[in-house]
Amino acid sequence: MFKRSERVQELLRHEISRYIQEVTEPRLGFVTITGVEVSGDLMDAKIFFSVYGTEDEKKESSDILHRMVPQIRHHLGRKLESLYKAPRLAFVYDHTPERAFRVSEIINKISKERDRGQEPPKP
């Protein structure tokens, strides 16, 4: 059985993702909402996100998201009538996708080196 906070987290992730996709801010990079954590009283939410691009593009997208918090909360207040009040939002950059990519690169490199080491000797 799901706790209410888990349902709210998924609902927030979905609605914020949709809202960000609809925004016509050209400087906002390719942003992905990777997760949401809400407090026990549902009044605060950490929104984890990642951005595909350079460090400058990531910084600019992060700044834009932080400036968009009032509009996003307003949107959530209208869309999520089941919540007493839209939670306070804090956007947190999620390094997990970058770390996963790096680990994958390392594993592939080790695998290739191991394969080369197992090749039969050449005449």
- Specify the pTM: 0.75
Helix (H) or strand (E) holding 120: none
How much of the chain exceeds pLDDT 70, in percent? 89
Q: How many CB atoms lie within 10 A of CB 33?
A: 22
Specify the amino acid at residue 10: E
Q: Is 94 helix (H, G, I), strand (E, B) or coil?
A: coil
Q: What gap in Å lies between CA 92 and CA 48, rounded to an integer?
A: 5
- 72-96 per-position pLDDT tens digit: 999 998 888 777 888 999 999 998 7
CA atoms in the 13 A half-sphere facing the CB of 2: 8
Helix spans in 3-119 (H): 4-22, 55-79, 96-117
Q: Are strands 88-93 and 44-52 parallel, antiparallel or unpaired?
A: parallel
Residue in the structure block whose two tokens are 């809202």: 19
Question: Where exactly are the structural domains of the chain?
Answer: 4-95
* Mean pLDDT of all residues belonging to the chain: 85
What is the fold, at CATH topology level, of the domain defined by 4-95?
GMP Synthetase; Chain A, domain 3 (3.30.300)
Q: Report the range of poorest mean pLDDT among 37-46, 82-91, 113-122.
A: 113-122
